[in-house]
């Protein structure tokens, strides 16, 4: 692992005497070639894309600073990961080059300046394409018939994967010529083979289920793909094309290679239109753009909305549109000067798994989590990540001491995707789920045979107690400002609070005994607690933390019964008839209110003056009763919550996704691509903000 640690050193560190430039260059080249073999040949990478890019960038910086160290066979001068012997070699008639990367807008701006200089100050337009996280492919047609498909390989020689590519359903196998769209004698189409997120999740579930069967038979686990890119690449390089056919691969086409006897083009976007007319899948999000300022906006938009797509992207490819200008700009030894890949911040990184511990939630659920060597991923530094449950730890077979893949996408809780098996310590042993709760009571943890979750079933477990109080005070519950986790722990440790009812009897003097409180902050917290007594009934119901009962069902119950006492005294049958409740939630509600400890909590809340019957009823006409209206994008006169609130105030629903039951979709600026696409496919009306106002007022489409 010494080489791994040194891989983060910089040219400045080398200059300061940590290593010689020559030794570091040799080390970097060896590391990069090793990782190329793992990534391209074996489809089992040992480092994340971001870590690999950092190695290549450091090597390029050293070669620029010390030109005498640059060589023709350096990884910075060659394309891809070389050619391999699994399949027959294919020589590319037109080399398949790689792309240089821009990691931020400063580097993208510097590229734009190089373009302007290369064109003697002349202007140009651009084409922006989503950078699909897949595997580059070349597909050759002769007289309209698919004859060969090859991977990029080292840019000059790839591998023949014709039989496997032919299983991709969306790819035309024979091209039809007509007067407007003639088919050339030779047409080479380039694109990206990828696995959709849905197909990846299906494959991963199948692999995990197979591992359960193998474990029952005493056999070792199969490798489970950690992301769609690796799963897609591995599927494309199967020796048996029948296996590839089962993997449901997809394709986006984005470039022409060799063409003989075809039409002449002047701009790149014209070639894409031509490919679409021939029946090739061309990504609908590609845009012709007039300036770098618009390029920045395009990149920012997709960095924000990347997770609304049904496939993974890791950046934006920016290309000069004019083909003559491309000829002027030319190529470096490995990449075109007229294109660059703007990379999004990494959402997967590798780091060390230091320990696996278990947390206990408010319902007693025991959730394993990973204690990690801190790593910057998905826009923040991550040191803890979820492992979901006992079965998932066993299926992933992650162990303390492993190097693991950590993923954090947007606001999603960080998770450990899986181990890098090739880096596992030799004496590693499987992690064993603890048999007792980590709390002071050390009660036995129980896992029913028919459930995935392991639970602490001791009602007096202090961890459950604290989490119930934290949930009660949260924004989705009673929204008590200033009452965070640390304060809850301090209150319970001091013996001031044993359940949520005790919160309303906390005094300023008690708070002043706790670390971090002064007179003003103590008075403010007491005031916030007392203010929460007037929260609406649905908030109170949600805050109580009744198993299975969420905000939507709480709103329905409040509207139907009007008071907490009426809900508590209702029969199972009465509760189950309420929209969104049903038998399971009804039984859970009845069981909760029947327990003596919960009756005591209700009495404390009643004594404290908590309002048991505040139901906010809208004065707006119920124009949208029974209708589902989805909002996507930014509206000028409404926040997202405001728009959804306006819909609900008029009796409608505002779900987060489009379905066949959706009445209309309100589309603002920068809408979610997947929602718009789904609405188009289902023929659901899409409204601008003016039409939305009409819908709110009348309940009818304009």
Helical (H) or strand (E) element with 142? strand 135-142
| Domain 628-698 fold | Rossmann fold (3.40.50)
Residues in the chain: 702
What CATH number matches the domain at 2-69, 1.10.645.10, 2.130.10.10, 3.30.2350.10, 1.10.287.610? 1.10.287.610
Nearest to 352 by CA among 379, 332, 325, 382: 382
What distances in angstroms separate CA 593 from CA 473, 490, 586, 598, one per listed residue? Answer: 20, 28, 11, 6
| Residue limits of CATH 3.40.50.10190 in the chain | 628-698
pLDDT of the residue at 86: 60
Averaged pLDDT of the chain: 87
Q: What is the pLDDT of residues 362-411, one digit of tens each?
A: 888 899 999 999 988 877 788 999 888 888 888 888 999 999 989 887 66
CATH 1.10.287.610 in the chain, residue ranges = 2-69
Domain 462-608 has CATH 1.10.150.20: yes
- How far apart are alpha carbons 233 and 194 in whole angstroms? 8
Average confidence (pLDDT) over 656-670 = 86
pLDDT at 512: 95
DSSP 72-95: TTSTTTS-TT---SSS-EEE-SS-
Please determine, for residue 58, whether its predicted confidence score (pLDDT) is greater than 90. no
Type and span of the H or E element at 343: strand 339-343
Residue 138 to residue 257: CA distance in whole angstroms: 8
Confidence of residue 571 (pLDDT cuts 50, 70, 90): very high
CATH superfamily of 352-426: Nucleic acid-binding proteins (2.40.50.140)
**Three-state secondary structure call for residue 271:** helix
DSSP 172: -
β-pairing verdict for 287-289 and 126-132: antiparallel
| Region(s) of the chain under CATH 2.40.50.140 | 352-426
Which distant-in-sequence residues (6+ apart) come within 8 Å of 146 by Cβ? 139, 140, 162, 166, 171, 172, 173, 174
- Catalytic residue annotation: 131
* pLDDT reading at 4 higher than 60: no
Give the pLDDT of residue 13.
Answer: 42
* Alpha carbon distance 404, 393 (integer Å): 12
Q: What 3-state DSSP class applies to 372?
A: strand
pLDDT band at 252 (very low <50, low <70, confident <90, very high): very high
- Which range scores top for mean pLDDT: 28-32, 102-106, 175-179, 294-298? 294-298
CATH 3.30.470.30 maps onto the chain at: 89-343
Question: For 588-661, where are the E strands, in sequence order?
Answer: 628-632
Chain region(s) in the chain for CATH 1.10.150.20: 462-608
| Topology at the third CATH level for domain 89-343 | D-amino Acid Aminotransferase; Chain A, domain 1 (3.30.470)
pLDDT digits (tens, 9 = 90+) for 507-542: 999 999 999 899 999 999 999 999 999 999 999 999
Model confidence at 332, pLDDT cuts 50, 70, 90, reads confident
pLDDT in tens, 595-625: 999 999 999 999 999 999 876 666 778 888 8
Tokens describing residue 678: 């789904």
Tens digits of residue pLDDT in 390-404: 888 888 889 999 999
Given a cut of 50, is residue 695 above it in pLDDT? Answer: yes
pLDDT in tens, 412-426: 788 898 898 888 998
Residue 39 pLDDT > 90, yes or no?
no
> Is residue 438 a contact partner of residue 360, using CB atoms and an 8 Å limit?
yes
- Quick one: pLDDT at residue 411? 61
What is the band of 81 on the pLDDT scale with cuts at 50, 70, 90? Answer: low
Q: Classify residue 690 as exposed, middle or buried by CB count within 10 Å of its CB (0-12, 13-18, 19+).
A: exposed
350 vs 226 pLDDT, higher one:
350
Strand-by-strand arrangement of the 662-667 sheet: 628-632, 662-667, 686-687
């Amino acid at each position: 692992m010494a080489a791994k640690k040194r891989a983060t050193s910089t040219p400045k560190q080398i200059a300061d005497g940590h290593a010689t430039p020559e030794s570091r260059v040799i080390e970097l080249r060896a590391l990069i070639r090793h990782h190329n073999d793992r990534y391209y040949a074996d489809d089992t990478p040992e480092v994340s894309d971001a870590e690999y890019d950092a190695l290549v960038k450091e090597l390029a910086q050293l070669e620029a600073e010390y030109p005498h160290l640059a060589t023709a066979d350096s990884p910075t001068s060659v394309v891809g990961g070389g050619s391999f012997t699994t399949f027959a070699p294919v020589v590319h008639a037109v080399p398949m080059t790689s792309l240089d990367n821009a990691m931020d807008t400063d580097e993208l701006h510097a590229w734009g300046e190089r373009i302007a200089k290369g064109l003697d100050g002349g202007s140009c337009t651009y084409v922006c394409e989503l950078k699909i996280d897949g595997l580059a492919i070349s597909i050759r047609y002769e007289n309209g018939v698919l004859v060969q498909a090859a991977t990029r390989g080292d840019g000059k020689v790839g591998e023949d994967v014709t039989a496997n590519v032919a299983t991709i359903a969306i790819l035309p196998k024979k091209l039809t010529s007509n007067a407007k769209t003639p088919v050339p004698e030779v047409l080479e189409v380039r694109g990206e083979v990828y696995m959709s997120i849905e197909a990846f999740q299906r494959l991963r579930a199948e692999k995990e289920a197979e591992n359960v069967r193998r474990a029952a038979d005493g056999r070792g686990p199969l490798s489970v793909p950690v992301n769609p890119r690796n799963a897609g690449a591995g599927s494309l390089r199967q020796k048996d094309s029948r296996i590839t056919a089962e993997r449901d691969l997809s394709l986006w086409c984005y470039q022409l290679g060799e063409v003989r006897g075809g039409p002449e083009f002047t701009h790149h976007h014209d070639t894409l239109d031509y490919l679409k007319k021939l029946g090739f899948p061309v990504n609908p999000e590609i845009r012709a753009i007039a300036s770098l300022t618009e390029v920045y906006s395009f990149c920012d938009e997709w960095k924000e909305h990347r997770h609304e797509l049904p496939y993974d992207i890791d950046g934006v490819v920016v290309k000069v549109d004019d083909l003559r200008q491309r000829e002027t700009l030319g190529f470096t030894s490995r990449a075109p000067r007229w294109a660059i890949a703007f990379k999004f911040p990494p959402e997967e990184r590798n780091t060390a798994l230091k320990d696996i511990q278990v947390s206990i939630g408010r319902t007693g659920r025991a959730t394993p989590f990973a204690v990690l060597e801190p790593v910057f991923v998905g826009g923040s530094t991550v040191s803890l990540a979820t492992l979901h449950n006992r079965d998932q730890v066993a299926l992933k077979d992650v162990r303390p001491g492993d190097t693991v893949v950590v993923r954090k996408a947007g606001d999603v809780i960080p998770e450990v995707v899986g181990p890098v098996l090739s880096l596992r310590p030799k004496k590693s042993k499987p992690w064993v789920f603890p048999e007792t709760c980590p709390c002071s009571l050390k009660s036995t943890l129980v896992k029913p045979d028919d459930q995935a979750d392991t639970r602490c079933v001791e009602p007096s477990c202090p961890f459950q107690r604290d989490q119930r109080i934290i949930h009660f005070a949260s924004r989705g519950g009673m929204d008590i400002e200033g009452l965070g986790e640390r304060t809850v722990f301090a209150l319970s440790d001091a013996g001031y609070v044993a359940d949520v009812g005790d919160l309303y009897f906390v005094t300023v003097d008690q708070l002043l005994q706790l670390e971090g409180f002064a007179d003003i902050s103590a008075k403010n917290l007491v005031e916030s607690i007392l203010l929460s007594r007037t929260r609406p009934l649905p908030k109170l119901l949600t805050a109580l933390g009744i198993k299975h009962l969420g905000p939507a069902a709480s709103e329905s119950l409040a509207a139907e019964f009007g008071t907490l006492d009426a809900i508590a005294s209702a029969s199972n049958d009465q509760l189950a008839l309420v929209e969104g409740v049903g038998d399971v939630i009804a039984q859970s509600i009845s069981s909760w209110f029947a327990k003596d400890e919960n009756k005591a909590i209700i009495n404390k809340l009643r004594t404290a003056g908590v309002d048991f019957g505040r139901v906010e009823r809208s004065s707006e006409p119920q124009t949208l009763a029974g209708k589902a209206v989805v909002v996507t994008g930014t509206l000028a006169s409404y926040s997202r919550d405001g728009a959804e609130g306006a819909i609900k105030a008029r009796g409608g629903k505002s779900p987060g996704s489009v379905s066949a039951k959706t009445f209309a979709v309100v589309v603002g600026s920068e809408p979610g691509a997947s929602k718009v696409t789904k609405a188009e496919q289902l023929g659901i009306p899409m409204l601008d903000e003016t039409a939305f106002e009409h819908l709110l007022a009348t309940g009818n489409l304009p």
